[in-house]
Each structure stands twice: as C-alpha cells, then as structure tokens.
Amino acid sequence: MNGISTETQLIVTTFFQWAALLFVIVVGLFFFAIVITYVIDKFQTTHAVKRNYPVIGRFRYWFEHLGEFFRQYFFAMDREELPFNRAQRSWVYRAAKNIDNTIAFGSTRDTRKVGNILFVNCPYPTMKKDAVEPREITVGENCENPWTTRSFFGVSAMSFGAISKPAVQALSFGAAKAGTWINTGEGGLSPYHLQGGADVIFQIGTAKYGVRDEQGNLDDSKLKKVASYEQVKLIELKLAQGAKPGKGGILPGEKVTEQIAEIRGIKIGQDSISPNRHPEISSNEDLLNMLCHIRKVTGKPVGFKTVVGSPEWLDELMKDIVAAGIENAPDFITLDSADGGTGAAPMTLMDDMGLTIRETLPMLISALKRHGLRDRIKVFTSGKLVNPADVAWALCVGADFISSARGFMFALGCIQSLQCNKNTCPTGIATHNKKLQRGLVAKNKSVRVAHYAKNMMYAVGTIAHSCGVKEPRELTLKHARQVMENGISVSLSDLHRDYT
C-alpha cells in the first residue's frame, strides 16, 4: 500500500486475521449451540412443541413471555379469545403443572358482564377440619354391576382416532392416578383406554364402532366382550354431540390407520362418517327398548348422551319413561352443550344448532324432579366446563358428574391451534403423524392429567367451603347468582324458579 509502512500493513493484516478467526469461532459456537439445543429439545420429554419443533419451538415460549408485557398493544387481552381465552387456558395449564394458581392486584374478569355467575360467600365459611370428601354416588343401583364413585370430574368422550395413541394413554393413566373416569368416545374400546387402569365409560355411537357387524348393526357378542372388561363401568349410547347435533362423527381418512380401522370395524384410509342417528331408534320407545337391551346383554348401567333442542321433548321423554316403568329408565343421562367441542364438524352446526348447557341443565334437572325420576337417573354434563367456576355452577344446578374433553386436552399441552380436523396437530394430541406424536410423552403428560383433575376438584371444594358447605355436592341453586342486564345479580334459585 502506497504511503503505509510495512509495519502498519502487518498490524492491519493481523487485525483482520484475528477478526476473521474470532468471527469463525463465534459462528462456530453459534451453530454448536444450535446443535446442542436441537439435541436437548428433540430428546426432552416435557414440552411437546419443543420436542416436535426443536429450537424453533422455543420462540413460542419467548413470545408468550413477551406477551405478558406487550399484549395490551399487540395481543388480545386475557378474556377476549374464543373458544377459550388466555385466562381460561392459563388456569388449566397451571393446574396441570401443579404450580401456583394465585393472581395479583385484581381480577381481569368483568364481574358485571351479563350472564356471569357469582358465588355466594358465607359469613362463616367451612373450616378445613369440618370439610369432608365428596359423597359417593352410585349409578345403576339395580343393575348386576352398579358403579360407585366419589369423583365428580372426569374425562369426556374423545375417540382413539380423533386423538392419538399417546394422548389416550396419558388420559388413561392420568385418570387412574386421579381416581376418576375416562370416556372412550364413539371410536370403540382401544387397549390404550384400558392400559392405565382407570374406570371406563364405553360409548356406542351411531356407527356402533367396535360393537358392529358387517352391516353396521349392533353385534351383541362384541358388546358382551367389551362389557366383560371389569374396568368398563358404564355403557353410554350417543344420540347427539354438542358441536354437531343432528350429524354423526367425522374422522378423515388420513387418520384411519390399520389399527383404528381394526378397532372400529371399518376400512383403512377411508373417511369414517357415522350416520346422523341410530337407524333403529326413531322414538322414545325405541330408545328405551335399546337401553334395556344393552343393559340386559352387558349387566352394566346404561344411559344416553344428547343435546337438548326442545324443552317439550324432555317432558315427553320423562312421561314415556314413567309409563314404561321406572325399572326401564336409563341409569344416567349425559347432557352435552351446543358450545361443546369436536375434532371436525360443519361450521353451521357448530355455530348455530342446539341449546347451551346454561339453558338446558336446569331444564333437565327440573324435568327429572317433576316426574319423580331425579333419584333414579343420574346426570353427567359436559361442554366447555374447564374451570372451577364452570364445574361449581353445574353442581349448583344439580349435575352429579361433570366431564371435560378440551380441559384435559389443555392439560395434555393443547395450544388451541385449531387443527384437530387435520393430521397436523403440533402437540401430538390430535394426529397420527408419528413424528408429531413423538412430542407427546404419555408418562409425563399423565401426571399433568392427574394434577388437573385433582386441582379442579380441590378448587371446586374451595368454592364450596367459601359458600359454607362441607363438600362440593352440597352446593345448590341458592349458592350462586347470575348477573342480569341491569348489572344486578339474581339468585339461581329465583332465576330458575319455573324449573324448581
């Protein structure tokens, strides 16, 4: 270089050589760190998203953390999202991880919002030494094999097929650890439902998967085989589901694997679409006859699941039950809500068909009482009941048992990506893609399932004790109030006076 000494040139050259070396080292360390992070994420068993999407998956938690500080500018508020908002999901996530669920400063919930439920605290709440366990309830007292449990919160219907093998395994083991039940959904009884040792409710859908003959009719020999498992405690005949009343189940062909096809009794790789009703049931009389037949074949308590669209039908059904004789009554009724969830359903049915649980549970309990059937027929209810207040409300109104599907999906790690109807669920819950399923480690997630169920029952107990009763099943209509249009709350006992 002209005008620059040899010594200066040497210094400059050496500087750039060291700078280049340093750059290479930094880049090397960067890529080494990425490789190490990739390996750690790929083989850890705690977070499904990181396991399925190593390195990249970490950005989700970073953005989620930043959202706490910037959501008022860039993100939805805690209570704005649908079908479940951040606050609802957050409670489930924390309960499932068994970490502190307290909050600071004040509630983000608008307590004045029309329809909100507020619980009536007692001036002299129940002390810990006076609290008792939930009382036992027996379903099917007159059956050969009645079922008795203290649990009031369990896993709602989710089919093997709609959800994956590790998801079913985690739910089965988790339900057993929590001392509660798991419902098979309409996809038949898989070995994974039995694997954990939990009590099982076997559901018969309109296609009768798992208990059908080649023509799709009920096969008594297959039904008897299912009922022979000691873990199968109840048989549930599905008439309708909340997210799609009037339409059968839908399982895309890409989810119909060889094993699922074998369990269901259908062809591999073809769309599995159930009829919109049981062909042999077209009246209340047909329904009661079918329930009696199933009870006779299995010796197990039998009930049905439905969504109410007309209060008149409830009264007609109760009259027909009384006329047929109380011994022929269903042992239980599962009431689903029009805002229930599913893996796949037409938008118009999901948005616009059926009545919600807030409206129909009081109707059902009232109808049972008016016709003298309340003690004979137990009530399960489901449909968007994922937080303690939801469950406590249902107990106040009169439900015996509350089931949740999406709550337990959140416990498994669901991030509400809304891909249940595809085979691309990023958390491994609603997919049969082996690479994505790998992210869901059943052993670890079963612990979260158990924590969620136990913490739910504990939290509902806290509400009950604040209301002054000794256990959750003592909650009644007088223990809750609903906010009306004028901003003033009204006792549920007054609000539902016509139903009591």
Q: Domain boundaries in the chain?
A: 6-75, 129-499
Specify the pLDDT at position 67: 61
Specify the pLDDT at position 1: 47
Specify the pLDDT at position 139: 97
Specify the pLDDT at position 369: 94
Indicate yes or no: pTM above 0.75: yes
Specify the pLDDT at position 362: 95
Residue 429 · residue 409 · CB < 8 Å = yes
> Which residue type, as a one-letter code, is found at position 441?
V
Mean pLDDT in each 10-residue stretch from start to end of the chain (500 residues)? 69 85 90 89 84 82 62 53 74 88 74 90 92 94 95 94 91 97 94 96 94 90 96 96 70 81 85 85 96 97 93 94 95 89 68 83 95 96 92 97 93 81 82 85 93 96 96 96 92 80
Range 129-499: architecture per CATH: Alpha-Beta Barrel (3.20)
Q: Are strands 272-273 and 250-251 parallel, antiparallel or unpaired?
A: antiparallel
What does the H/E/C string look like for the chain? CCCCCHHHHHHHHHHHHHHHHHHHHHHHHHHHHHHHHHHHHHHCCCCHHHHHCCCCCHHHHHHHHHHHHHHHHHCCCCCCCCCCCHHHHHHHHHHHHCCCCCCCCCCCCCCCCCCCEEECCCCCCCCHHHCCCCCCEEECCCCCCCEEECCCEEECCCCECCECHHHHHHHHHHHHHHCCEEECCCCCCCHHHHHCCCEEEEEECCCCCCCECCCCCECHHHHHHHHCCCCEEEEEEECCCCCCCCCCCEECHHHCCHHHHHHHCCCCCCCEECCCCCCCCCCHHHHHHHHHHHHHHHCCCEEEEEECCCHHHHHHHHHHHHHHCHHHCCCEEEEECCCCCCCCCCHHHHHHCCCCHHHHHHHHHHHHHHCCCCCCCEEEEECCCCCHHHHHHHHHHCCCEEEECHHHHHHHCCCCCCCCCCCCCCCCCCCCCHHHHCCCCHHHHHHHHHHHHHHHHHHHHHHHHHCCCCCHHHCCHHHEEEECCCCCEEEHHHHCHHHC
Specify the pLDDT at position 2: 56
